[in-house]
Every structure is written in structure tokens, then in C-alpha cells.
């Protein structure tokens, strides 16, 4: 059985030798940048980032016994400009003066995502953060931001 032959349209684009050489040489830097971003994305040390994040949060907590404690099972990439935290838990200790065997309150999320929008970084001075979780709404926004259903929005002054 012989397969039918497919005829592709031919493009009659004539390029000068100088233009053809320029296009061929511009492919090397573009391929380099593509590989750089791709392998940086694949090999980013998310475990070290998780440890650094937890250390910074503990440092901010200081010696305050009533401050929340944060636990994260794993941290990974989310799209190109974000992180995904799996097993995020916010633990609030028992308030002082409570008696009995009351357990500390615990808020846990299966998965939470934080991502910065890249286009506003190029067009304005304020960043837009998008934050969401799979179980309920949680948002960790930078200072001078408001939280809405679509994420964190910078306060315009």
C-alpha cells in the first residue's frame, strides 16, 4: 500500500547572503539564552530556598512565644516566576493563661502558590503578586499591598 504524497507549499523568500549569515549567527545566542533559562529553572535549589525561608520566618518570630510557627513539606517551581509550597502549615501556639489540654490551632494547606507577574515589573515600579491556595484563601503579600480574590494588589498612592 502506497501512502499519498503530501505537497507542502513552497515559500519563495529570497535572502541575501549577508542576511542569511546574520540569521544563522543570531541563533547561537538565542539557543544559549533558552538553555540558560531552562536549566536554571530545572536545577534551582528549592530545598535550600525552603530552609532559608523557614530560617527567616523563625528570625522574624524571635522570642515571641505567641507568634505563629510555619512548616512546609516541600517547595517547588510554579510556572516560571513562582513557587509552590506543598504541605504548608501555620501553627498558632496556645494563648498564655489557657488551662487544660487545649491543642494549638493549626491551619494547613495542601498546596499554596505565590507568583510575581513579570509584565508589571517591566512597565511600572510596583510588582503585582498573585497568591492562592487549594484549601482556602491565604496570601502573603509585600508591605503596602491589599488582598483581593484575584491576589495581592499594590496600594497606589
Residue 128 lies in a domain: yes
* Backbone angle region of 97, left / alpha / beta, with phi > 0 → left and psi within -120 to 50 → alpha: left
Domain span at 81: 45-154
Residue 24 lies in a domain: no
- pLDDT value, residue 31: 95
Number of domains forming the structure of the chain: 1
4-47 pLDDT, tens per residue? Answer: 888 878 888 888 999 989 988 999 999 999 999 999 988 999 99
- pLDDT value, residue 148: 45
- pLDDT value, residue 141: 45
- pLDDT by residue for the chain (157 residues), tens only, comes to 788 888 878 888 888 999 989 988 999 999 999 999 999 988 999 999 999 999 998 998 888 878 888 999 999 998 888 899 999 888 888 776 666 666 778 888 889 888 887 777 777 766 666 776 665 444 444 444 444 444 444 444 3
| Bridge partners (DSSP) listed for residue 113 | 84, 132
18-28 pLDDT, tens per residue? Answer: 998 998 899 99
Residue 6 lies in a domain: no
Residue 40 lies in a domain: no
Residue 97 lies in a domain: yes
What lies within 8 Å, CB to CB, of 83 at 6+ separation is 46, 49, 75, 76, 77, 113, 114, 115
Q: Is the pTM of this model over 0.85?
A: no
How many residues belong to the chain? 157
Amino acid at each position: 500500500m502506497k501512502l499519498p504524497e503530501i505537497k507542502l507549499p513552497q515559500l519563495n523568500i529570497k535572502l541575501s547572503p549577508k542576511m542569511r549569515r546574520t540569521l544563522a549567527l543570531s541563533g547561537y545566542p538565542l539557543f544559549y539564552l533558552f538553555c540558560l533559562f531552562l536549566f536554571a529553572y530545572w536545577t534551582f535549589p528549592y530545598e535550600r530556598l525552603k530552609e532559608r525561608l523557614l530560617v527567616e520566618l523563625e528570625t522574624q518570630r524571635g522570642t515571641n512565644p505567641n507568634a505563629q510557627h510555619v512548616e512546609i513539606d516541600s517547595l517547588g517551581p510554579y510556572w516560571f516566576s513562582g513557587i509552590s509550597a506543598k504541605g504548608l502549615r501555620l501553627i498558632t501556639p496556645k494563648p498564655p493563661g489557657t488551662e487544660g489540654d487545649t491543642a494549638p490551632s493549626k491551619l494547613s494547606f495542601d498546596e499554596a502558590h505565590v507568583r510575581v507577574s513579570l509584565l508589571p515589573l517591566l512597565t511600572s515600579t510596583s510588582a503585582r503578586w498573585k497568591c492562592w491556595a487549594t484549601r482556602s484563601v491565604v496570601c502573603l503579600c509585600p508591605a503596602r499591598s491589599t488582598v483581593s480574590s484575584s491576589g495581592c494588589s499594590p496600594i497606589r498612592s
